[in-house]
């Protein structure tokens, strides 16, 4: 089924460990993004990308790296995990451009989330 595939669903890390959260979409979406969700904080944007080779920072980028080598994939890297990075992470993608949002493919497709615990 078409959509956003996010792996893993759960992960426990020790402080200082590194890991990569994977995100892949098969809808040919130009725009991809990573959010973190914390209780009482809603979803906050970490990084986003508007196409292969183009990334930019969101609201809470510190401690995270991203790259976009293909249209399909947008991995999120934690280089040295900290307890403050304990959160639920979501990848989301969408078409870009005003025209797309007027058609049947409007909206954002979210992955199923990754619950990350850093101890």
Partner 1 sequence: AQTVTQSQPEMSVQEAETVTLSCTYDTSESDYYLFWYKQPPSRQMILVIRQEAYKQQNATENRFSVNFQKAAKSFSLKISDSQLGDAAMYFCAYRSFGVGGSNYKLTFGKGTLLTVNP
* CB nearer partner 1, residue 49 or residue 85: 49
27 in contact with partner 1 (CB under 8 A): no
- Of 17 and 88, CB closest to partner 1: 88
Minimal distance, residue 68 CB to partner 1, in Å: 14
CA distance 67 to 45: 15
- Pairing between strand 87-94 and 4-7? unpaired
Q: Residue 103 burial by CB count (10 A; 0-12/13-18/19+): exposed, middle or buried?
A: exposed
> Parallel, antiparallel, or unpaired for β 114-118 and 10-13?
parallel
Residues 110/91, Cβ–Cβ less than 8 Å = yes
Which residues within the stretch 82-111 sit at the binding site for partner 1 (CB under 8 A)?
88, 90, 92, 94, 96-98, 101, 106-108, 110
Q: What is the binding site for partner 1 (CB under 8 A)?
A: 31, 33, 35, 40-45, 48, 50, 56, 58, 88, 90, 92, 94, 96-98, 101, 106-108, 110, 112-113, 115
């Amino acid at each position: 089924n078409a959509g956003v595939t996010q792996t893993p669903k759960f992960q426990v890390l020790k402080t200082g460990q590194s890991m990569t959260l994977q995100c892949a979409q098969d809808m040919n979406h130009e725009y991809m993004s990573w959010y973190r969700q914390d209780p009482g904080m809603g979803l906050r944007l970490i990084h986003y990308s508007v196409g292969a080779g183009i990334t930019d920072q969101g609201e809470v980028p510190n401690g995270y790296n991203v790259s976009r080598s293909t249209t399909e994939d947008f991995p999120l890297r934690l280089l040295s995990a900290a307890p403050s990075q304990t959160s639920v992470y979501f990848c989301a993608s969408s078409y870009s451009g005003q025209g797309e949002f007027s058609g049947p493919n409007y909206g954002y497709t979210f992955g199923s989330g990754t619950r990350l615990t850093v101890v």
